[in-house]
Amino acid sequence: MTQLEILHNPRCSKSRQTLELLKQNGHDPVVIEYLKHPLSKQQITQIIEKLSIQHPRLMMRTKEAEFSELGLNHEDTSIDAFIEAMVSHPKLIERPIVITENKARIGRPPESVLEIL
């Protein structure tokens, strides 16, 4: 069985639902509480690749105050600035994200993570 990881915030209902869904489907993922243990630039870059998204903004919580406070809502913001913002402000990372060896999915809705299992 493929090793699973979940970027998890226990205070988030979608994150809790996704973790429970994984367990109901026979998986015991490694739980990464990314707010307590922030991710590195390399880890975030790898997740972006596994998500197969065109821009890091697609894995960010754009409605958080920090998003606009950091100027991330400007069109000329560099990709590197988005990644650095997630390193420095992990609260900006969308949650939950389920990660396998080769793929990742954001658990919104929670059932979407089943596509990569």
The chain-wide mean pLDDT, for the chain, equals 96
Domain ranges of the chain: 5-116
Sign of CA pseudo-dihedral 92, 83, 55, 104: negative
The whole-number average pLDDT for the span 52-80 is 95
Q: Domain spanning 5-116 has what CATH number?
A: 3.40.30.10
Q: Quick check: 1 pLDDT over 80?
A: no
**Which amino acid type is present at position 73?**
N
Q: How many angstroms separate the Cα of 6 from the Cα of each of 16, 53, 65, 68, 78? A: 10, 18, 24, 27, 27
Of 5-9, 75-79, 92-96, give the lowest mean pLDDT range. Answer: 75-79
Whose CA is closest to 46, among 115, 116, 111, 99?
A: 99
Q: Which two tokens stand for residue 77?
A: 């913001």
Q: What is the pLDDT of residue 3?
A: 86
Q: What is the pTM of this model?
A: 0.94
Residues with catalytic roles: 12
